[in-house]
Structure 1
Amino acid sequence: MSPFSVCLMAIVALAILGLPVGYAMIAGSIVYLLVAGQDLSIAAEQLLQGLRGSFVLLAIPLFIMSAELMNVGSLSNRLLHFCNAIVGRFRGGLGHVNVVQSVIFAGMSGSAIADAAGVGRLIISLMTREGRYTRSYAAAITAASAVVGPIIPPSIPMVLFALVSDASIGYLFLGGAVPGLLMAAALMALNSAMARLRGFPVEEAVPLRAVPRITFRAFPALMMPVILLGGIYGGITTPTEAAAVAAAYAFLISLVLYRDVTFAQAYEAVLTSARSSASIGILIGGALVFNYVVTIENIPADLSAFLADYELSAVSFLLMVNVILLILGCLLEGITILLVIVPIFIPMAQVLGIDMVHFGVVVVVNLMIGLITPPYGLLLFVVGSVAEAPLLAIIRDVLPFLAALLCALAIITFVPDVVLWLPRLLGYNG
């Protein structure tokens, strides 16, 4: 049995026994080094050099912290009131509010889980009040709309894709803007159809004279994505520095301007952010060590040679990648797939002339859809816990939204200009 086979068996066995995947990858890689007769200190060297040498990774805890600060204060409430004033007056209005708040919140957190667990808790409560919507439907559209969050910039998964592919983070962020809006439009169109089919209520329209006041109250929160993205594309800040500005801005407007967050709550938000960041950091560390094993085993080159024998076109390759990632998304956590599986596909994509910004957005959309794909679908469990709805009922209601997102994915995959139009408009030469 080859050392690589022993490594894979060790990782799978440890993961099945309940060890976190990041630790399992580190342990399996150490087993590989031991069996292959290599210096065991290579594992520590790869982990430390990978984490220390990537300045871009600092953006992840900063984006997470800005989302946490929003959730403990009134920022989320103010955004919900603003969204309700804009789209709440239409049939199925709170469903539309759910999607629109995810689009706006996406410009602040970069995390689907933060969206569903934070603002999602508020919108589910509003939707299920007085039995206006079923708990399962409220949970389903919350999970589906949260998928849009990491597509619209900023995006933590896109930061990680930039780490493994050397693609430009700024252009990846730009590339996700139009696809994210396309996905949101698909969800809102389906929500309108479902509202008519199921007879969901029309909310009382917010008087037009109240809209300026509601907008003014939400204005500081609405300015966060403008400041963040303006800094990046204006050449003022790097993406990591912009993440720091976003976290500082969320802290200042929550504690100083709105004064609705105590120092104790801010401290708890920092602790929660640290726990989430540490969890992602362990996965990244494990992937860095395991990717060293994959590289010295020459797996990417062997896979490229294997696929080359089939003379795949770029379209066929993208279709194959979509199928593989959607299947893996049913079973594995998205960050694990992004850090371990996706790097194997990147050399082949480059050989076929597929643009890395386009490929990155396609990959991230696949992984986000995996968050609502049964049976694993992490977002299904998150919203199920929040809504206190049966998992089977949520799955039944989420399937139409899943179909709508898959249609959007097909357009994003096979019409590259949907992704590349905005980056090219702003100077991208890919």
Structure 2
Amino acid sequence: MNLTSPFSLAILAIVTLSLFGLPIGHAMIGGSILYLFLAGLDMGTAAEQLLNGMYTSYILLAVPLFILSAEIMNTGSMTERLLRFCDAMVGRFRGGLAQVNVIQSIIFAGMSGSAIADAAGTGKMMQKMMTQDGKYTPSFAAALTAASSVIGPIIPPSIPMVVYALVSDASIGYLFLGGVVPGLLMGLSQMAIIAVIAKKRNFPVEAPVPVRELPGITIRAFPALMMPVVLLGGIYSGVMTPTEAAAVAAAYAYLISALLYRTVTLKSTYRSLLSSARTTASIGMLIAGALVFNYVVTIENIPDALAAYLQAHELSPLAFLILVNVVLLLLGCLLEGTTILLIIIPVLVPTAQALGVDLVHFGVVVVVNIMLGLVTPPYGLLLFIMTNIAKVPLRDIVRDILPFLFAMIASLALITFVPGLVLFLPRLFGYQG
């Protein structure tokens, strides 16, 4: 590569601006404009690409709506009722409260689509429940909460899958279906690790919930439990698109919290809207920057060149997937997941297509990799969130999360080598891939 070429200088500008503290989205826009200037192209193309990408992509509307639904659930009492329901189901076993942590993440996975929303919402409650009376160490509770939160964006709905669909043109509906089995597999692997550790460390057994209380607990949690049914049922029955389902999810969460549970006030509604707007603006700028930079990457013909290079070396689809796993796991240690999805994946998608890799299978493998990056040292975002919540050193959380991380990597290897685990449900619903 010519180090003085417009593209090289644009990359240097993006890295330099990022190191000086400019948000990566802004840095990508600045670097892309520099490229257009040096290449003698119309710099107004940057604004054109940004506007076309942001305002003509219907699926992007799903992102702020899923974020809003997660905020409303955390504001209302839906979270507490679901935790009580999970405790009634599995809390009676050794290490039962730790198992509750995983079960609640699986249930919330069908509602919010965000790992960070899961950790920041139910994570605080689980941390308090697990550490009161010294039942579990704060570092173990924080590590488990971070690990279980990873499940959220794998089981539908999933914000990362919406973003992947944006850059790959894969079907969101089939991507959502493809994430169900891998997400459950991740949850089961975590529960197996808990069972082993619980026996080794002699974790406490919670007092069983009396059988006579189970119907009442279930009834109180039932409206919240119906949210995934309404959401996914609407998508796969053909009544709603995934974007419309995101709007329904936000409306359903608000109506249940405000009218049935009566736990949402005008003040809390305002806070939820404000928080959602801030998160959406942050993600929106990142997407905008990536859209402009991806235009530059396309002009440079990098995706096609990479595809031709790998084909010339007769790389098999399986070898390509293994290479992608290694690269994404390493990048996940350093970069934020949305950045990887928007910058790296558009370069890899043409190669995946050229090698005959199914884009739904590829998308689920990519999303699982990116979710593992959230809990991979040294810069896993969920690790820092839980360090702040639990008030314990990062090194203690890293030590306790390693068994869960290895189990999840094993699950990733399984879905990589056995595509049928991902494609079984999509094919059941008519997917021809």
TM-score range (shorter-chain normalised) is over 0.9
Alignment partner, residue 155 of structure 2: 152
Q: Which residue of 1 aligns with 2:91?
A: 88
SS in 2 for 1:372: coil
Q: How does 1:392-403 map to 2 (within 5 A)?
A: 392-403=395-406
Aligned partner of 2:79 in structure 1 is: 76
Specify every segment of 5 or more residues in structure 2 that has no aligned partner in the other structure, as ranges.
Answer: none
Q: Report 1:99-118 matches (<5 A).
A: 99-118=102-121
Deviation of 1:215 after TM superposition, in Å, equals 0.6
Work out the CA distance in 2 between the residues paired with 1:211 and 1:359: 41
Shift of residue 256, structure 1, vs aligned partner: 1.1
Residue type at the aligned position of 1:257: L
Are positions 1:423 and 2:426 aligned together? yes
User: Which structure 1 residue ranges, 5 or more long, are not aligned?
Assistant: none
Q: Distance in 2 between matches of 1:313 and 1:205?
A: 52
Deviations 1:141-191 (A, max 9, x none): 000000010000000000001000110000000000010000000000001
2:344 is equivalent to residue 345 of structure 1: no
CA distance in 1, matches of 2:273, 2:310: 46
1:65 to 68, 71, 76: 68
Residue 371 of structure 1 corresponds to which residue in structure 2? 374
**Cα drift, residue 208 of structure 1:** 1.6
CA offsets 1:218-266 (integer angstroms, 9 cap, x no match) = 0110011100001100100100000000000111111111111111001
Query: Can you list the C-alpha shifts for 1:187-229, whole angstroms capped at 9, x where unaligned?
Result: 0000111111111101111112211110100011001110000
Q: Please give the secondary structure, in 2, of the residue aligned with 1:221.
A: helix
Partner of 2:274: 271
Q: What is aligned with 2:310?
A: 307
Q: Which residue pairs with 1:127 in the alignment?
A: 130
How far the C-alpha of 1:34 sits from its partner, in A, is 1.1
Q: 1:259 aligns with which of 253, 262, 269?
A: 262
RMSD (Å) for aligned C-alpha atoms: 0.6
For residue 148 of structure 1, give the secondary structure of its aligned residue in structure 2.
coil
- The code of the aligned residue for 1:279 comes to S
CA contact (8 A) 2:90 2:99 kept: yes
- Alpha-carbon distance, 1:38 to partner: 1.0
- Aligned match for 1:406, one of 404, 409, 413: 409
- The aligned counterpart of 1:8 is 11
Determine the C-alpha separation between the residues in 2 that align with 1:300 and 1:368: 24
Alignment of 1:181-260 (within 5 A): 181-260=184-263
Distance (whole Å) between structure 2 residues aligned to residue 372 and residue 402 of structure 1: 8
Aligned sequence identity (%): 66
Please report how far the alpha carbon of residue 409 of structure 1 lies from its aligned counterpart in structure 2 after TM superposition.
Answer: 0.2
Which amino acid counterpart does residue 366 of structure 1 have in structure 2? N
String of CA shifts for 1:268-316, please: whole Å, max 9, x gaps.
0000000001110001000000000000000001111221232110110
Corresponding residue for 1:34? 37
Tell me how far apart the structure 2 counterparts of residues 389 and 199 of structure 1 sit (CA, whole Å).
22
User: Residue 144 of structure 2 corresponds to which residue in structure 1?
Assistant: 141
- The residue that corresponds to 1:97 in the other structure is 100
1:44 & 1:149 partners in 2: Cα distance? 34
Distance 1:429 1:242 in 2: 24
The separation in 2 between residues aligned to 1:208 and 1:161, in whole angstroms, is 44
Q: State the Cα deviation string for residues 303-345 of structure 1 (Å, max 9, x = none).
A: 1122123211011000000000000000000000000001111
* Residues 340-362 of structure 1: CA deviation (Å, up to 9, x unaligned): 00111111111111111100000
The 2-side partners of 1:164 and 1:378 are apart by: 23
Amino acid at match of 1:148: I
Among 361, 384, 387, the alignment partner of 2:387 is 384
Could you tell me how far apart the structure 1 residues matched to 2:195 and 2:26 are? Answer: 45
Q: What's the counterpart of residue 168 of structure 1?
A: 171
Using the alignment, how far apart are the partners of 1:278 and 1:201 within structure 2?
43
**Total equivalences in the alignment:** 430
- Partner amino acid for 1:371? L
Q: Provide the rounded CA distance (Å) in 1 between the counterparts of 2:90 and 2:24.
A: 41
Give TM-score scaled by structure 2 length.
0.99
